[in-house]
Structure 1
Amino acid sequence: MLYSPRSVKVMSADFSEVTVTSLRCEYLENPLGIDILSPRMSWVLQSDQRGQKQTAFRVLVSSSLKNLNHDTADLWDSAKTESDQSNHLEYAGEQLTSRMRVFWKVRVWDMAGRPGRWSEPAFWSMGLLRLRDWEARWVSFQFRGQETALPSLRKEFDISGNIQSATLYATAKGLYEIRINGLKVGKNLFAPEWTSYRNRIQYQTYDVTELLGAGRNAIGATLGEGWYAGWLQQWPPEKNVYGSDLELLVQLEIRTDDRELHLIMTDGSWKASLDGPILTSDMYAGETYDARNEWRGWDKPNFDDGNWKSVHMKRHLGKARLVSQLNEKICVTEEIAPIALSEPRSGTYVYDLGQNVVGWIRFSLRGKAGKTVQFKFNEMLNPDGTIYMDNLRAGCLAEETRRQTDEYICNGAENEYFEPHFTYHGFRYVEISGLGYEPTLADLVGRVFHSSASSSGLFACSDELLNRVWENATWSLRGNLMSVPTDCPQRDERMGWMGDAQIICQTANYAMDLAAFWNKWIKDIRDDQLGDGRYPSYAPYPLADDRSTGKSAWADAGIIVPWTAYVYYADKRLILEHFHSARGWVDHVHRENPDLISKQKSHGVDWLNIGGTIQNEFFSTAFFAKSAGVVADMASVLGKEHDARKYRRLCNDIRAAFAREYMADDGVLAGNSQGAYALALAFDLIPDHKRRQVATRMVESMNDNDGVLTTGIATTHLLLCELSRNGYHDEACRIVKSRQMPSWGFMVEQGATTIWERWNGYVPGVGFADNNMNSFNHFAFGAVGEWMMRELAGIHLDPSHPACKHFAIRPRIGSSFAWVEAYYDSLHGRILSSWKVAGNRASLNITVPVNTTADVLIPTKDVDTIEESGKKASMSEGVSTVKAGENNSLICVESGSYEFAFHV
C-alpha cells in the first residue's frame, strides 16, 4: 500500500519539528556550472503534524562550507523573512562571478512561529559567465574523410604541487567522451546533447579533482557525429546538417595548494588521430568497433603519440552561444538481464530482455582477431523467431540494410567486451550472428539510458491490465526523453516532435520531474521559431526551409507545453522569458485568419485516428482558441493586464466563431466524430448551456460505432477525460478496460511492454501494420495516464495555485474498480490519494504536503456520516470546512495525512 497512517512525534519545546529537505538550485541538486546570475533556490518541508506550514524563512549563502557551518553568510543573508515561499527564491546577495562555489542552507519557522533546525548544507558552482572567460579554442582534425574512423584527441601536461581543486568545462560540435589518466570523466552520455546548434551549444562542468595528481597527467577525448553531423531524417535524409567538422572545446582549470592556477585548454598543442577503433557510430545505423585498433594507454601519460597529427585550431569561438547544461544528463539508469536465449537459425542467437527498452548492450565475447560479430536490435520477432527489422524503414541511410545494427571486430584477446559509444537503440530483442559458439544468458546485459529526470508519480489499481498500461506508458516516456522528447527511439526519425509532446505533457509531469527538461527544450523551441511567429513541428528544427512549420497542435505545443510546465512547477521566469514568443504564434495565426476560422495552408491532424477524422479547419481553429486563451492566462500571471484582456477577448471571439461555424442547434458538431466532440469540450469551445447536449452527442457518436474508439493521438486522452467530466465516467472505464482492438488492453494482450504507435501495430492472424510507420515504442497514446491520475486517483492541479500550493483530491470512486492508489511528488512534497470500496463502505486516505492546502470531494452528500480517523470529519483536526453539495461533500483540509470513511 502507498498510504501509511501518520505517526506521533514528541516535539522539542525550543525547535519546530518541521524539517527542511531536498534543497535544489534551478531544479537540480548541487549543480555545477550555473550560468544564471540570480539562481533560484527551492526546498521541501516535512512534518507529521497536521496544518503545518512555513511562516518565515532564513537563507544563508556563503563562499565556503566553513563559513556556512559557522553561520557566516558572506554572500547573502536573507534575514528572517515572513513568507511561505519555498520554491524559486531568487538569490539576492553579492554579485556572483564565474567559477564561484556557493554554499547555502535554510531554516524555517512553523505555524506557531517556532524556528526549525538548519537544513543540511547544499551548494552550486557558477559556470563561465562571460565569453572572455573561455581561453580555450575549438580544435578539430580538419580533413577527416567520410571513410575514416572517428577522431580522438589528446594532450599531456605536468602539474607541480598538490592539487586543491580541478574543474573541467567541456563541449563539442558533435558528441564527446573525455578521459583523464585512463578514467572516463562523468557519467554523461551524448554530451553536449542536442540543441539548436546554430544558436546555442551546451557545455558541461565536471569536478575532476580526484582524477588528477601531481606530476605527469594526460587528457583525451573521442568525438562522435551525433545529431550535429550524423544522419537526421529530413525527408529526404541528410548528413552534416549542422556541420561536417567534429570539434572539441575543453578548458581544465587546476588550482594547487600554492593558489596557482594551471590552465589546460584546447589549442594548437593538442594532437589527433583518425586511426582509432570506432570506425562508424551513427544514432540510427549503429556502431562499428574494430578492437584491433585500440591504443593501449592512449588516455594515460607517457603514450607515444608520434604518429598523431597536430589539430586545427579556430581563432574565434563562433556565433552560437555557449550555455551551461541545466537539464539532467543522459546517463545509464538501470541494467536489465535477459530472460531468454534462442537459436532460430544455426549460428544466429536471439536474446529477449523481456522489456522494450532504450539504450544499448554490454556483451562479453571471445574470438580470433578479425572476426566480425553483428548485433541487430529491435522490438518484435518474425514468426520464425528472427528479429523483425522491417519497421525501421529503408532509405534513410546510404547503406539501406544498416539499421540499428552494431558490429564488433575482435582483437583476439582472451576476454573482450563490446559496449557502444555514440549510438542508441530501441529494442527488446538482440540478434547476434558471427559469434561461432553458443553464448550464455550471462554474456549480455541491457543498459538502459535516457535523460535522467527522476520519477515523480506512481499509479496502481485493482485492475492488473491497467497497471501494466501505466508501466508501459512510463517506459515509453523514459525511453523517449533523449535530451528532447522524441517520437520514437528505433527507426530513422527520433525527432523532438512538438505535437506528441503537448499530448503527453500532463501524463509526463505526473510521472516524472521534468521541470529542468522542459526548461531546456522550450529554449530549443524558441531558438528555431521563425521570424513571422511560426513554430516548427519539431525542435530542434534542423531544416533550412519552412516545410514543416506552423502546423496546428504541433506548433501550438510552443504555447501549451510552457504553460503546462508553469502549472506544475510555478516557474514564472519560464513564461516571462517565453511570453513574446508565445504571443508571436497566436498573432501569426490571427493575421493569416482574420475571420477567426483557421484556414491556414499547413494543418495538423488527429494523427492515427481510425475513422474518426476531424475537419482540418475545425481542428486548427480549436487549437487557435486554446492557444489564445493560454496566452491570456500567461499575461495575467505576468501582470500584463492589457495583453490579458486582448487575448481573452480574442479567445472568446474565436469560440463564438467556432460555435457558429461548426455546431448545429441540436448540438451535433461538424464531422460528428468522437475526437471532434472531445476536442471542443476539452478546449471549452462550447457555450455552457450547450455542454450537456454536446456531451450527449459525443456518447451517441461512440454508440454509433458500437462503443469502439475512432480517435487519434491528439484526442483519445481528451475523450476519456471529457467522458468522466461530463457524467459518463463508466463509459470511460469501459474503454480503458477493453481488451479488444483498438485499446491499450489489446496491446498488452499481444505482449506489449511499451505503448505502440498504432492500435493495430500487430494483430494475430493479420500480422504487422504498415512498416513505413509502425513503432512499438511511441508515447502519444500513453497520455491515458493523465486520465488515470486525474479522474481515477483524483489528483487535480489548480492553475491559479501552481505547483500544488493548493489543489484538489476528487477521485471517481467505484466504476468496477475496487481500489486505486496513486501519488504525485509535487515541488512542495508528496500528494497521495488512496481509495477502496468494500460493499457499501468506502475509504479515502490522502496526504497533503506541508505548506499546502487541498479541497477534498467525497462522493456522498450526507456530510454527517463522513468520518475521519474514526470521528466525525467536521470535528477533525486540520479540517477547515465541510460542506454538502448536490451529490458530493466538499472538505477543505490543511496539510497532513487523513483517513476518511463513508457510505457509497
Structure 2
Amino acid sequence: MNNLTIKSLLLTVLLVSSLTGFTQKISVSDLKVEQLSNPLSVDAPAPRLSWKIKSTLKNTIQASYDIRVGTNKNNLASGKGIVWTGSAKSDQSVLIPYAGPELQSKKRYFWQVKVKDNHGNTSAWSDVQYWQTGLKAADWTAQWISVSTTDTSARSPLFRKAFILKKKIKSALAYMTVKGLYEAHINGQRVGDSYFAPGWTSYRKHLQYQVYDVTASLKTGTNAIGVVVGDGWFKGRIGFGHQRRVYGDTRALLMQLEIEYTDGTKESIHTDESWKTAYGPIMASDIYDGETYDARQEKSGWNTAGYTEDQSWTNVRIVEKGTEQLVGMSGPMVSKHEQFKALKVFKTPKGETVVDFGQNLVGWVMLKAKGPAGTRITLSHAEVLTKAGDFYTVNLRTAKAQNVYILKENTEQVFEPHFTFQGFRYVKVEGYPGELKSEDLTAVAIYSDMEVTGKFSTSNPLLNQLQHNIEWGQKGNFVDVPTDCPQRDERLGWTGDAQAFANTAAYNMDVAGFFTKWMKDVQADQQPSGLIPHVIPNVIGANDGASAGWADVSTIIPWDMYVAYGDKRILEVQYESMKKWVGYMSAAAKNNLWNTGSHFGDWLFYRPEDDNDGRAAVTDKYLIAQTFYAHSTQIMINAAQVLGKKDDVEKYTILLHAIKDAFIKEYMTGNGRLVSSTQTAYVLALQFDMLPEAMRKSAADRLVRNIRDYGNHLTTGFLGTPYLCHVLTRFGHTDVAYNLLMQESYPSWLYPVKMGATTIWERWDGIKPDGSFQTPDMNSYNHYAYGAIGDWMYRNIAGINSDPTVPGYKKISISPKPGGKLTSASGELNTPYGWVTSTWKIENGVFKLDVQVPANTTASVTLPAPILIDGRETVNNTEIGSGSYHFECNMTSPAAK
C-alpha cells in the first residue's frame, strides 16, 4: 500500500468521523401529528406537526426547519411523490400546520423533518412518520347492521362475515364503529389492543370511528371477520334512576374494510345484508353491574375462516343511519396497562374468601379456573374493608359490580370481562372449584392510553405516597372521559371535578388529546342558552347544569390546555362555546351580580361537628358564583387577546370591571371583610383578583388566621382546595401552605395516606379516625378532585412552571420553594419540547439545584436565596438556555430568611 493510498484512507476516516460527530450534535425525534403518533383518522384539513430536538450543546435554539410530506415512504428521501415542502427560518417546532395542497380522503401521508440550530449545526432528516386522513361522509359505503329482530336481549350479539381475497395484499385498513361497544377479530386475531371502542361521546351529535391497519391479519384466500357488540354507555344503564337506552335501543355495527392489492387495484368489504348474526357466551354486560359469561355458550372458531356452523345463524337487519356525525379519533383509546398479582387470599371474619391486590385500581381481574361444566364463579369488587376486616360494598349503591363466569367442561380457562370495568382493591370470590390460590388471579389496570409525562418525589415518604395516590386517581378516572368515580352507579364526566384537576393532570400525563376530545362534547351538549350541563356527556337532563365552578369547565380547561401545550386551536374551536357560557351568566345576572340559580357551591367542604362560634366553613354559593363569573370573563379576555379579537378584549374588560364592582358592593365590607369569612371565600376572592389591590394583603392575613384557628387545617371543598396553597404562596405564606400540606390529622391531604389510602378519596374523612365510614351513599375512595394539590407541588416544591405569556413551556420558569422540613425534591416533566428537570437537596445549609432545560427553550431560574459564585453572593435569579446546570445558594444567609 503506497503513501497516497494511506493518506486517502486517513482523509476518508477523518471525514466520516467529522460528519458523524456533526450529525450527532443535533437530532430530531418524537414526531407527532395533532399531538398523536402516527394517527390513522385525522379529520383536520391542516394537521399540525410537532417534533422534539436533542442537542449536545447548551443554549440550542432551532434557527430553521425543513419539512417534506409525500405519499410514499420509500420515495420520500429521493424527493419523488412530494406533495408539500415547508421551510422557514423559525424556532417553532410545535403544532406547525400543514400548508400544502388539499389532502385526499382516507390516504396515508408520510413526513419527516430536519432542523438547523443557532450554532450552525444541521440535523439529519428524522425518521419517517405518517398520518392517515379520515373518511368523509361520502366515502362510507357500509350500512348499519343489527340483530335480525328487535334488539331486546341482554346477551351480546356476534356478527360474522366470510369472504375471499384472490390477489396478493399490499395494505388493508379497517374502519369501524358501533352503537354500543365492540371487540373485533379478523381470522381469529384481535383487531387492535384497545377497549371500550368507540368511546363515549355525545352520540347524537358525533360518534367516533376507529381505524386499524389489519394488513398482517389478512391472507389470499378465505378470510373471516367477527365482531361482538355490547351495550356500553349507548344502551346500558348509565346515570341516575336506573335509566337505560339513553341514546338508543338498538345496538348496531358499521364496518368498512379497505383493501389495496399489489397490482394497484382495490376492494372494499363492508357491513351489509350478507352478514350473519347469533348470540354468544356474554349473557349480560353492563358498565355498573358487571358481566355474566357462560363458557358453555362459546362458539369455537366463530371468528375464523374455517367456521362452518354459521348456517344456523340468522341474517342481519339493516338499520337506518341516525342523526349522528361520524368523526375520527381525536383522543387516546383505552388500553390495558399495569398488572397486579394478588398480595394475599384470606378469609374475612364473616368467612368470605377475599383477595387483596394492594392497590385501588380500575379495570378487572383475570381469573384462571378449572371445574365441572356449569360451575358458577362470582367475583365481587370493593375498595375497602370494614373496621372488622369484612368485605364492604355499601358505598357502591345500586351497582352490582360483579363478574360471573360459568365454566364449560373440565378444562382450564382464563376469564376476563369485555364491556365492563370495576373500581376495586379487594375481590370476593364465590363458587370457585377447589382451592383458590393467589396465582389464579391477576388484576389489570385499564385507562386511556396517555403517556406519562411527570415524575415527582421528595424526601418525605408520605408526600411520595400522596403523589402516587394522585396518579392512580387520575389513571382510574381517565377512562375515555374524566369520570368522578369508577366504582358506584355513577362514573360520569362531572365538569367541576375535571376543571379542578386539569392542571395537575397535565403534569402527570399527556392529556392534550384526552381533553381536546372531551371538550368537543362539552360544546356538543351545551344548551342553546349557553348552559353547560353538570356532566359531559350529558345523561342526567337538559336543564341540569349552570352550576358555578362546574359549568366554567367550558372556559377553564381550554385555557389550561393552551398554557400547558401551547395549543391555540383549542381556543379557536371552543371560543364560541366559551362566549356562550359567559353570555349565559351575563343574562342571568342582575346589575352584573349573578345571584340566581342552583349551585353546588364548595362541594364537600369540611363540616365541623360542633362549630358554633361563627367560623363554620359554609361559603355563600352566590359569592362563589360571582368569583367564577369573573374568572371566566378574565379567561375570555385572555383568549381574545391570543386570537386577536380586539373588540372582545374591550367588551370583556368592561364587563370584568363591572363584575368585580358588583362583588365588592355585595360581599365585602369597607374594611375588606367578606360576608362569608371562610377559607374558600378568601381563596377565591384572592385567586381571581376580586378585591382592590390595597386590601389583598389583609385578606390573605385573614385567610392565614382562619387556617390557624382551625389548628393548621384546611376547611375547603372542591372549589376552594385547588387554589388554597397557590394563594398562600402568592401572598408570601408558603410556610402556611407547607403546614397544610404536611398536616397528618383530619382534615388534610395526608390523613387518607396515614389511613392506608392508595388513591384520592372523595371526602376528607372517607374513613373516620375511629375506623367507621362516612355516609355510604356518597363515599368514593377513588375520586381525584382533591388531588389538585399536585399542581402546587410541581409548581412550588419542584418549581416547574410554564410562563403563561409564552405557553407550552417554550419559556420555562424554575423556582423551587423549599419548606416543610424537606431535605430534597425532584420534579421531571416531558414538555412539548422535551424533558425539563428540577432536582434539589439541602446539605449543611446549602441549597443545591440541578436543572435540565430541553433544546429550543429558555428558562428563568429563581433560587430561594442569592447564588454563591466564588464564595460571594449574587442575585438569586438568572436566564439560561438549554442544557444541564448546577446552582448553589446559602440557606443560612440573611437574604434567605
In the TM superposition, 1:541-620 aligns within 5 A as 541-546=538-543, 548-611=544-607, 612-620=617-625
Distance 1:383 1:651, change over 3 A: same
Unaligned runs of 5+ in 1: 1-8, 395-401, 874-881
Counterpart amino acid of 1:638? Answer: L
Partner of 1:475, secondary structure, is helix
Counterpart amino acid of 1:601? Answer: G
Given the alignment, which residue of 519, 522, 526 partners 2:523? Answer: 526
Aligned residues: 865
* Number of the residue aligned with 2:247: 242
Given the alignment, which residue of 93, 96, 121 partners 1:89? Answer: 96
Distance 1:637 1:360, change over 3 A: same
Distance 1:662 1:269, change over 3 A: same
Counterpart amino acid of 1:553? Answer: G
- Matched residues in 2 for 1:335 and 1:607: separation? 34
Asked if the contact 1:613–1:671 (Cα under 8 Å) also holds between the matched residues in 2, the reply is yes
- Matched residues in 2 for 1:545 and 1:94: separation? 42
Given the alignment, which residue of 135, 146, 153 partners 2:141? Answer: 135
- Matched residues in 2 for 1:127 and 1:857: separation? 47
Distance 1:799 1:380, change over 3 A: same
Q: 1:350 aligned to 2:354?
A: yes
Q: 1:176 aligned to 2:182?
A: yes
- Matched residues in 2 for 1:261 and 1:26: separation? 29
Counterpart amino acid of 2:195? Answer: L
Partner of 1:618, secondary structure, is helix
* Number of the residue aligned with 2:612: none
Q: 1:443 aligned to 2:430?
A: no
In the TM superposition, 1:48-63 aligns within 5 A as 48-63=56-71
- Matched residues in 2 for 1:142 and 1:214: separation? 31
* Number of the residue aligned with 2:218: 212
Asked if the contact 1:359–1:426 (Cα under 8 Å) also holds between the matched residues in 2, the reply is yes
Partner of 1:522, secondary structure, is helix
In the TM superposition, 1:432-581 aligns within 5 A as 432-546=429-543, 548-581=544-577
* Number of the residue aligned with 1:233: 239
Counterpart amino acid of 1:104? Answer: W
Deviations 1:840-890 (A, max 9, x none): 2111111111111111112224x5x347xxx989xxxxxxxx8x4xxxx22
Asked if the contact 1:451–1:481 (Cα under 8 Å) also holds between the matched residues in 2, the reply is yes
* Number of the residue aligned with 2:271: 266
Partner of 1:171, secondary structure, is strand
Asked if the contact 1:23–1:41 (Cα under 8 Å) also holds between the matched residues in 2, the reply is yes
* Number of the residue aligned with 2:611: none
Asked if the contact 1:44–1:829 (Cα under 8 Å) also holds between the matched residues in 2, the reply is yes
* Number of the residue aligned with 1:22: 30
Partner of 2:76, secondary structure, is helix
Distance 1:658 1:347, change over 3 A: closer
Asked if the contact 1:337–1:444 (Cα under 8 Å) also holds between the matched residues in 2, the reply is yes
Distance 1:370 1:223, change over 3 A: same
Given the alignment, which residue of 122, 125, 130 partners 2:132? Answer: 125
Partner of 1:76, secondary structure, is strand
Given the alignment, which residue of 682, 688, 700 partners 2:687? Answer: 682
Distance 1:11 1:891, change over 3 A: farther
What's the offset of the Cα at 1:666? 2.9
What's the offset of the Cα at 1:689? 1.4
Distance 1:173 1:702, change over 3 A: same
Out of 696-705 and 276-285, give the one that drifted further: 696-705
- Matched residues in 1 for 2:51 and 2:420: separation? 37
- Matched residues in 1 for 2:570 and 2:269: separation? 36
Given the alignment, which residue of 868, 878, 885 partners 1:898? Answer: 885
Asked if the contact 2:376–2:431 (Cα under 8 Å) also holds between the matched residues in 1, the reply is yes
Q: CA RMSD in A?
A: 1.7
What's the offset of the Cα at 1:146? 4.1
TM-score (norm 2): 0.94
Asked if the contact 1:60–1:73 (Cα under 8 Å) also holds between the matched residues in 2, the reply is no
Counterpart amino acid of 1:107? Answer: K
Counterpart amino acid of 1:614? Answer: T
Distance 1:834 1:195, change over 3 A: same
- Matched residues in 1 for 2:22 and 2:847: separation? 41
What's the offset of the Cα at 1:177? 0.6
Counterpart amino acid of 1:667? Answer: G
Given the alignment, which residue of 28, 34, 38 partners 2:42? Answer: 34
Partner of 1:802, secondary structure, is coil
- Matched residues in 2 for 1:688 and 1:119: separation? 52
Percent identity among equivalent residues? 38
- Matched residues in 2 for 1:544 and 1:494: separation? 16
Counterpart amino acid of 1:720? Answer: C
Counterpart amino acid of 2:63? Answer: T
Deviations 1:95-126 (A, max 9, x none): 21112111111100111233211111111111
Asked if the contact 1:347–1:437 (Cα under 8 Å) also holds between the matched residues in 2, the reply is no
What's the offset of the Cα at 1:604? 3.0
Q: 1:333 aligned to 2:333?
A: no
- Matched residues in 1 for 2:683 and 2:328: separation? 41
Out of 335-344 and 482-491, give the one that drifted further: 335-344
In the TM superposition, 1:651-800 aligns within 5 A as 651-800=656-805
Distance 1:10 1:412, change over 3 A: same
Q: 1:372 aligned to 2:376?
A: yes
- Matched residues in 2 for 1:255 and 1:701: separation? 70
Distance 1:446 1:551, change over 3 A: same
* Number of the residue aligned with 1:6: none
- Matched residues in 1 for 2:125 and 2:698: separation? 58
What's the offset of the Cα at 1:13? 7.4
What's the offset of the Cα at 1:683? 1.3
Counterpart amino acid of 1:105? Answer: Q
In the TM superposition, 1:350-429 aligns within 5 A as 350-394=354-398, 403-429=400-426
What's the offset of the Cα at 1:519? 0.7
Asked if the contact 2:735–2:819 (Cα under 8 Å) also holds between the matched residues in 1, the reply is no
- Matched residues in 2 for 1:392 and 1:383: separation? 18
Out of 342-351 and 712-721, give the one that drifted further: 342-351
Deviations 1:809-842 (A, max 9, x none): 1111244111111011110111111111122211
What's the offset of the Cα at 1:385? 3.5
- Matched residues in 2 for 1:656 and 1:810: separation? 34
Asked if the contact 1:16–1:115 (Cα under 8 Å) also holds between the matched residues in 2, the reply is no
TM-score (norm 1): 0.94
Deviations 1:356-382 (A, max 9, x none): 110001110011111111000111113
- Matched residues in 2 for 1:845 and 1:773: separation? 44
Asked if the contact 1:16–1:110 (Cα under 8 Å) also holds between the matched residues in 2, the reply is no
What's the offset of the Cα at 1:345? 6.6
* Number of the residue aligned with 2:209: 203
- Matched residues in 2 for 1:126 and 1:502: separation? 31
Deviations 1:1-24 (A, max 9, x none): xxxxxxxx9986755711111000
Partner of 2:115, secondary structure, is strand
Distance 1:791 1:72, change over 3 A: same
* Number of the residue aligned with 2:321: 317
Counterpart amino acid of 2:142? Answer: A
Distance 1:788 1:626, change over 3 A: same
Asked if the contact 1:347–1:436 (Cα under 8 Å) also holds between the matched residues in 2, the reply is no
Counterpart amino acid of 1:336? Answer: F
* Number of the residue aligned with 2:13: none
* Number of the residue aligned with 1:398: none
Asked if the contact 1:149–1:280 (Cα under 8 Å) also holds between the matched residues in 2, the reply is yes
* Number of the residue aligned with 1:879: none
Out of 90-99 and 472-481, give the one that drifted further: 90-99
Out of 890-899 and 480-489, give the one that drifted further: 890-899
Q: 1:68 aligned to 2:110?
A: no
Distance 1:186 1:872, change over 3 A: farther
Partner of 2:713, secondary structure, is coil
